[in-house]
Amino acid sequence: MTQQQTIRLAVIDDDSGFVTVLAKRIEATGWQHRQVASVIPPEELVAMKLNALLVDPAVLGDEGWSYLERVCGMLPDLGVIVCTGRSTVAQRVRGLRLGVDDWIAKPCHPEEVMARIEAVSRRRRRSQPRVEAGPMLAGEMEIRADQFQAFVGGTSLDLTRREFELLLLLADAEGQVLEREAIYQRVWGYAMAHGDRSVDVFVRKLRQKLEKRSPGWGYIHTHFGVGYRFDPEPVDGTVPPPAAAKAAEPAEAPDSQLVHSSFTAA
């Protein structure tokens, strides 16, 4: 592995036998790593400039789910891998939908764990936004890949990581109809299970946020039985004034749009 491919990893796990064997393999590979048996605050994870986090939520007790949600939300570039004991399908699905990149069941071989960490880190590197590309403009919206966020009139839409990844995928394919299965594969990273409605749920959340900030525009269009198309269009067929301009006109009445802003392995 070259210096450019060296992985910076944090491990949150109190399984001493597993951690000891894994640490020896990691050291032999030349990765940089830190192992703890308790919570690492998300703010500290940011300062560590990690590529990946390997965590057993059972160590975190009742705070496991909320911790995963905070980490995935605050560190969109971080690869998060859960490695834990027995779990239910519902627990695994919940974790993946929160933003976890992979879920490994113990007992497991350290080589497989490291291979999965490498795979997640590769996917993260490939999905890094091209900062030099600049913002993408669509209707009243400005999409900033360098900030993993979208803005209307200078105000953030407060998108989650998953919502932003979905929006960026649709916007990059402007005018094209993307099938639900293809969207799921690209955004979630694995094949969509039969009957899974995650894409529809997240599109609905996106639309709600867009309608609050940019009510005069329609952005995401449904193609029933197929998927979705991103194509900014004025709702009434005429181009409304920009959101920022409307807020600045003294003669207009102000448009009030306040946006209020246990894991136990079975």
The listed range with the strongest mean pLDDT (38-52, 64-78, 108-122, 207-221) is 207-221
The pLDDT score that the predictor gives to residue 129 is 53
Q: Does domain 131-248 have CATH number 1.10.260.40?
A: no
The pLDDT score that the predictor gives to residue 243 is 55
pLDDT bin (cut points 50, 70, 90) of residue 140 is very high
Reply yes or no on whether the pLDDT at 182 is more than 90. no
The pLDDT score that the predictor gives to residue 137 is 92
pLDDT bin (cut points 50, 70, 90) of residue 230 is very high
Give yes or no for a contact between 230 and 171, defined as CB atoms under 8 angstroms apart: yes
The pLDDT score that the predictor gives to residue 147 is 83
> pLDDT per residue over 234-263, tens digit each?
987 665 555 544 444 443 444 433 333 345
Q: Closest Cα to residue 100, out of 59, 145, 55? A: 55
The residue ranges of every structural domain in the chain are: 3-126, 131-248
Quote the CA–CA distance of 220 and 226 in Å, as a whole number.
Answer: 14
Strand arrangement of the beta sheet that strand 8-12 belongs to: 32-36, 8-12, 52-55, 79-84, 102-105
pLDDT > 90: percent of the chain = 38
Name the CATH topology of 3-126.
Rossmann fold (3.40.50)
Mean pLDDT of the chain: 82
Check residues 46 and 211 and name the one with the higher pLDDT.
211
Planar angle of CA 50, 91, 199, nearest 5 degrees: 80
CB-side exposure of 8: number of CA atoms within 13 Å?
10
Residue with tokens 């998108």: 159
